[in-house]
Structure 1
Amino acid sequence: MRILTRYILLEMLTVFLITMGSMTVFIFLGLIGKEAVDNGLGAGPILRLLPYLLPQAMQFSVPGALLLATTVVYGRVSSSNEIVAVKSLGITPMVMLWPTLLFAFIVSFGAVALNDLAVSWGTNGVKRVIIESFEEIAYGQLRTRKMFGNEKFKVNVKTVVGKRLIGPVITFESGSGNVSIIRADAAEMNVNIATGALDVKLFNTEGGLKGWTVNLPGEIERSFPLEQALGGGSSKPGPSETPLRDIKIAKVDQGKQIDWLKHEMAAATSMALMLGRFDELSQSQWSAREGNLKWSRRELNKLNVEPYRRWANGFSCLGFVLIGAPMAVRRRHGEFWGSFFACFLPILLVYYPMLVGCVTQAKDGAIPPQAVWLGNFVLAAWGVWLMRRVIRF
């Protein structure tokens, strides 16, 4: 028995490590290319991104590599009639299967930790590198494309000389939602990471808003939120970027914020009724407060869902092995690619849509967060059914 256990584990470990390494390199290069193209990164920022992108690449490669390794090993074992030989000795096929199930169980815990590392440390690290490289990214795009920005903040120039922008036109969305346009003869941009602001020096400026035009000769300085210049993302980690160890504290803080919003709305209602200011209770006056309360509740739902999502994602590894091993044994022809796609296509078409759908519904509060595990239970049920057929026949 121990010989069979060591044999299967050694085969699985060897194929898994080789497959995971190959898939990680392929996905890693894809992620690097995407960040480089999307943000216009040079060699320096790309090198600083590498450690943060590695967990994100492994997050995707580990489950796929484990499924492929399982179909390769058990496809070869089945095609060489080793399962038949074990049965002929009166030994249950589970002797050949349980080592891989145990291995997948252990890997699943590692996958949970990897998912947590990728979406928290990895994602926040990528954001930090992009912020630190903002000037390089912005000036690089302005030199090559004469334009940089997004829907809320955009800069167009005639040309760039050193750090000086010639003929810049800055279009940005103000706090009230109005769009303002600033034109100048020249400008210089500097990032202040400490304050989270983009400081722009403007020379001979002309600004316009709602038909009004203001001319300001000489040099002035205008600051824009760096979040707005980067595309409107928040510097504070969201629920999907919060480490598992910090989610409990974040839920308490979010609950306090919801209570504070409720108390504020109750106090405002009482004051309006006492003073007879009934116009303050109109829908137009309350829409912003109701929107803030709705957003805060959804953030709390996201925090409730995140632990279940990460654990369910990690334990998909065990579900993949539960399906891949008996499927490869049943096919008996050593066609591991056929076994792999026979497992992967249903997973792709059933499991992942179920996972995404349940996560979305749970974030909206339509279903409890525990429902995120539904796809894993479907995988487990399918795998157990296949296992029973392998053991019986």
Structure 2
Amino acid sequence: MDAGPGGLDLGILQRYVWWEVARAFAMALVTMTGIFVLFMVAAQAMGSRMLTPRDVVTLIPYIIPSTLPYTAPVSLLFAVTVVYGRIAGDNEVIAVKSAGLSVMTVIWPTIFLGAAVSAILWQASRTWIPMSAHEAKMVLFRDMEDVVYKFLKRDKQFSLPGSPISIKVQDVEERLLIKPTFWKKGPGDSIATTIQAKAARLHFDMEAKKIVVDLEEGVVQNHGDGEEVAILPQGMESFEFPLPDDRRNKGFSLKTVQEYTNAELEENMADARQHLALDRRRQAIAAGLLFGAGKPDQVAWGDVKDAFINHAEYRKKYNEWETEKQLRTSMAFGSLLFVVLGAPIGIRFAKRDFLSAFMTCFLPIIGLYYPLMLLGINMGKEGAMPAYQALWISNLVLALLAGWVYPRIIKY
């Protein structure tokens, strides 16, 4: 490697800086990820009350990717501020400038590292991370029968998506439902039948695509014009109802917005845009034509009302999906900006010891960036500002601060 002015070997210097930052980054990432995973598993266990030790062991590999958008940028910022604070405190930056070199000589290697981390996070947040987040949730629900029993044990009630049956229980003892109540929906979501029992068991027949319910001391009440109550004979009686079809079972995946891949988000957003553009217009045109034909009594006012209500719901969902999509890109790009701003600040404060570098460089940046990010998330979801603008406020502020700091550091 060619030596720079003053005999300083640029290759060795840059490799040294890059290696020190990479090593500190790896150590911080492992530590912070471990802490995050422990807290997340503990929160899941306390919140759901459904995790067995086997579930915990299976869950951990799927939780780790979900922590990376938060732990990787913070770990990188921590490494940069500590390493550059130390080398500046040891007068190594002054030695570089004395050799006639720009301070950027020691910053560029870390900027490339930050860009690489940002690119990896950006790609992972589009596919791998949301898929892992969904798999982490599905660890709790290995099969449909487990889902129902676990939800009933936790929430004491459950409605199977796409099914006419809702269930409420007093308690669950292993696979026995204590004092369950079953509601069967009729037309228009009205309650057609209520079934109560001393105890019940559920049996899922996946081949026949039905659920069989065995009842003990069951009482059936039919609602409607001919309401009647029937006490079932002593012993275990049963009734059955069909499982939802495969299309509706997709809702059983219980996906949150964080669990959608970018391709799924874009598909949902395209569908929402179509509904937002057409639904209200169709109902308004249909109502206008009927009014013009002198048939206002034939206007489907219920459909008109539903179109306007659904419009607000589609708008809300669209904002959530767009916000999540922009959030992933913004947070991934934040890793690069953490390096761009953290390195000169670490040099400027020139703190050799770990605690001083942490307090003077790391905390102020974190204290500025994440509150602005939360503000952008809220504004994007509420529709107060387009998500592609709201989610980049925090990054824009860091970029402006970096533009203000660098001329001063170059003269330092």
Question: TM-score higher than 0.5 here?
Answer: yes
Give the aligned CA root-mean-square deviation in angstroms. 3.8
Task: Count matched residues.
Answer: 384
Distance 2:181 2:201 in 1: 12
* CA 167–369 in structure 1, closer or farther in 2 if over 3 Å, else same: closer
Letter aligned with residue 86 of structure 1 = V
Higher mean Cα deviation, 352-361 or 290-299? 352-361
In structure 1, what is the equivalent of residue 156 of structure 2?
148
Structure 1 residue 117: Cα displacement = 3.8
1:354 paired with 2:372, answer yes
Letter aligned with residue 391 of structure 1 = I
In structure 2, what is the equivalent of residue 289 of structure 1?
307
In structure 2, what is the equivalent of residue 186 of structure 1?
199
Structure 1 residue 326: Cα displacement = 1.7
Q: Does structure 2 conserve the Cα–Cα contact (< 8 Å) formed by 1:240 and 1:302?
A: no
Q: Does structure 2 conserve the Cα–Cα contact (< 8 Å) formed by 1:71 and 1:328?
A: yes
Q: Does structure 1 conserve the Cα–Cα contact (< 8 Å) formed by 2:210 and 2:240?
A: no
Higher mean Cα deviation, 342-351 or 120-129? 342-351
1:30 paired with 2:19, answer no
Letter aligned with residue 21 of structure 2 = M
In structure 2, what is the equivalent of residue 382 of structure 1?
401
Percent identity (aligned): 26
Letter aligned with residue 85 of structure 1 = A
1:126 paired with 2:136, answer yes
SS in 2 for 1:41: coil
1:69 paired with 2:79, answer yes
Structure 1 residue 31: Cα displacement = 1.8
Structure 1 residue 272: Cα displacement = 4.2
Q: Does structure 2 conserve the Cα–Cα contact (< 8 Å) formed by 1:204 and 1:215?
A: no
Structure 1 residue 13: Cα displacement = 1.1
* CA 221–193 in structure 1, closer or farther in 2 if over 3 Å, else same: closer
In structure 1, what is the equivalent of residue 248 of structure 2?
none
In structure 2, what is the equivalent of residue 168 of structure 1?
180
1:252 paired with 2:270, answer yes
Query: What pairs up with 1:208-357 in 2 under 5 angstroms?
Result: 214-217=229-232, 218-221=237-240, 235=253, 237=255, 239-270=257-288, 272-273=290-291, 274=293, 276-277=295-296, 280=299, 286-357=304-375
Letter aligned with residue 148 of structure 1 = K
TM-score (norm 2): 0.78
Q: Does structure 2 conserve the Cα–Cα contact (< 8 Å) formed by 1:163 and 1:188?
A: yes
Letter aligned with residue 188 of structure 1 = R
Letter aligned with residue 30 of structure 1 = F
Letter aligned with residue 289 of structure 1 = A
Letter aligned with residue 399 of structure 2 = A
Letter aligned with residue 270 of structure 1 = G
* CA 5–134 in structure 1, closer or farther in 2 if over 3 Å, else same: same
SS in 2 for 1:67: helix
Distance 1:346 1:179 in 2: 60
Distance 1:169 1:3 in 2: 74
Q: Does structure 2 conserve the Cα–Cα contact (< 8 Å) formed by 1:202 and 1:221?
A: no
Higher mean Cα deviation, 57-66 or 245-254? 245-254
Distance 1:180 1:346 in 2: 61
In structure 2, what is the equivalent of residue 229 of structure 1?
none
Distance 1:119 1:360 in 2: 22
Bigger radius of gyration: 2
